């Protein structure tokens, strides 16, 4: 375990091994306050590049706000914790293709259960995910009673996973880029329409001039500062309204 000190608060960070119900062991990055241990919990769910510096930084930001944040390594079955962004999508294709829906759900369930085991109240656990993690935030919310879930540009929810819409537990907040060249806008509309038809509580935010991965400050060519800052502020208010923060 390591301790880092920021201008806001001292936090503890560590890697932990989390057992998954399929018999595998999943490494995860954990960040939490150095002092307070009765705060909320959050699943911070990776994009296609793993538990990168960007994802760890996001977990640290939550820890500075009093959260216990866990970022599970979803490529653990192929032995990868993180990958460099410079390698592009081709480098992570073998690992991404090896990930299954059932495996991802099991990993999210294991991370949620780990938070419970650390004493985090089930009434104060949420999720935030990016790209494949944005999709998993939606799936996790259908398989564990999250208080709230936040999805950034989660592709393939429509049409592949809309059958989970009626099973959602907590309210959902979605962020999309209007200039996303990965997720077609018709899929964005289909997610909103599917959740509405299922009676799920959800909010949809589209930043018209932002593209895919606009929240990731580690990818300068894709990062959109205004959209990122607004999305974070909206996320914090959303979590406050749900009684998590």
Task: Give catalytic residues, as residue numbers.
Answer: 131, 180, 212
Q: Can you read off the two tokens belonging to residue 45?
A: 């769910």
Burial status of residue 3 (CB atoms within 10 A of its CB: 0-12, 13-18, 19 or more)? exposed
Query: What's the half-sphere exposure (Cβ side, CA atoms, 13 Å) at 45?
Result: 31
Secondary element (H or E) of residue 195? helix 185-198
> Cβ–Cβ contacts within 10 Å for residue 107, how many?
28
H helices of 10-87, in order, are: 53-64
Q: Can you read off the two tokens belonging to residue 32?
A: 């939490």
> SS3 sequence, 54-68?
HHHHHHHHHHHCCCE
Distance CA 43, CA 27 (A): 14
Q: Can you read off the two tokens belonging to residue 187?
A: 């899929």
């Amino acid at each position: 375990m390591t301790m880092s000190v920021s201008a806001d608060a001292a936090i503890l960070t560590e890697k932990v091994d989390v057992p998954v119900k399929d018999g595998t062991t999943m490494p995860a990055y954990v960040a939490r306050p150095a002092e307070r241990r009765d705060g909320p919990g959050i699943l911070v769910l990776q994009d296609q590049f793993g538990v990168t510096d960007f994802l760890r930084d996001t977990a640290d930001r939550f820890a500075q706000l009093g959260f216990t944040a866990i970022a599970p390594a979803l490529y653990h079955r192929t032995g990868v914790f993180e990958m460099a962004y410079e390698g592009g999508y081709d480098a992570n294709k073998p690992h991404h293709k090896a990930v299954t829906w059932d495996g991802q759900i099991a990993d999210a369930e294991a991370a949620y259960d780990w938070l419970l085991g650390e004493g985090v109240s089930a009434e104060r656990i949420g999720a935030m995910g990016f790209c494949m993690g944005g999709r998993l935030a939606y799936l996790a919310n259908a398989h564990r009673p999250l208080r709230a879930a936040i999805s950034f540009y989660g592709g393939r929810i429509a049409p592949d996973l809309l059958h989970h819409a009626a099973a959602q537990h907590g309210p959902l907040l979605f962020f999309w880029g209007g200039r996303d060249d990965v997720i077609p806008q018709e899929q964005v509309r289909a997610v909103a329409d599917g959740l509405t038809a299922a009676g799920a509580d959800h909010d949809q935010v589209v930043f018209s001039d932002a593209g895919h991965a606009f929240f990731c400050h580690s990818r300068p060519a894709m990062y959109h500062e205004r959209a990122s800052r607004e999305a974070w502020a909206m996320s914090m208010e959303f979590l406050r309204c749900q009684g998590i923060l």
